[in-house]
Amino acid sequence: MRIERTELSGVLLLTPKPFHDERGFFTRTFDAELFDAEVGAGVSATFAQDSQSRSVRGVVRGLHGRRGRGEAKLVRCAHGAVHDILVDIRPDSPTFGRSRAFLLDDSGFRHLYVPPGFLHGFQALTETADVCYRIDRPHDPGEDLAVAHDDPDLALTWPQPVTVVSPRDRAAGSWRELLAAERLTHRF
């Protein structure tokens, strides 16, 4: 497994090395020893929940985050392909307010380690897309944050027409509202 740092502070891109033969393939999707060597000893042991979503082509989920301690997560696309987007909302981060998109799919097997303090969203690029999340603490709906996927200040680009957005995501606030409500300002 190759582990690469990205231009977003603390975000890692993990790329397993699958073994292909006439039966199909086998790949290790996570290796705690390698992960902890890169991130810090024992970090992998803190994952508390595994979740999975299934989306149809064009669906956008997000942008979601958590206030308080936030949450760290490992995200991968087990079936299909997604256009995955992260936005750094950590006020003291050198990449505060920056976003980055990643292609996650079932052929490249890449997945992301996302430290606490990011908004996360994705668009399904295939007929169906299954996204798996390994999260470091139980979900608390009272800590949920959301920003509209089409917020003009973030100016995120979605590669396909957006077909479905949940009512909750449709009602999400703006980037400016999040900054004001959470008192998020970059400290230069």
Output the pLDDT for position 32.
74
pLDDT of residue 162: 97
String of DSSP letters for 47-80 = --EEEEEEEETT-EEEEEEESTT---EEEEEEES
Average pLDDT of the residues in 79-83: 98
Kindly tell me the number of DSSP H helices and DSSP E strands found in the chain. 3, 13
pLDDT at 172 over 90: yes
Residue 57 has pLDDT above 80, yes or no: yes
Q: Which domains does the chain have, with CATH numbers?
A: 48-181 (2.60.120.10)
What does the DSSP 8-state code read for residue 142? G
SS (H, E, C) 27-54: CCCCCHHHHHHHHCCCHHHHCCEEEEEE
Of 75, 91, 169, 162, which is closest to residue 125 (Cα–Cα)? 162
Residue 188's pLDDT band, with cuts at 50, 70 and 90, is very low
Mean pLDDT score across all residues of the chain:
89
- By CB atoms closer than 10 A (0-12, 13-18, 19+), residue 154 is buried
Q: Which residues are catalytic?
A: 64, 133
What percent of the chain lies above the pLDDT cut of 90?
64
**Mean pLDDT of the region 117-138:** 95
What band does 27 get if pLDDT is binned at 50, 70 and 90? confident
φ, ψ (nearest 5 deg) of residue 11: -85, 130
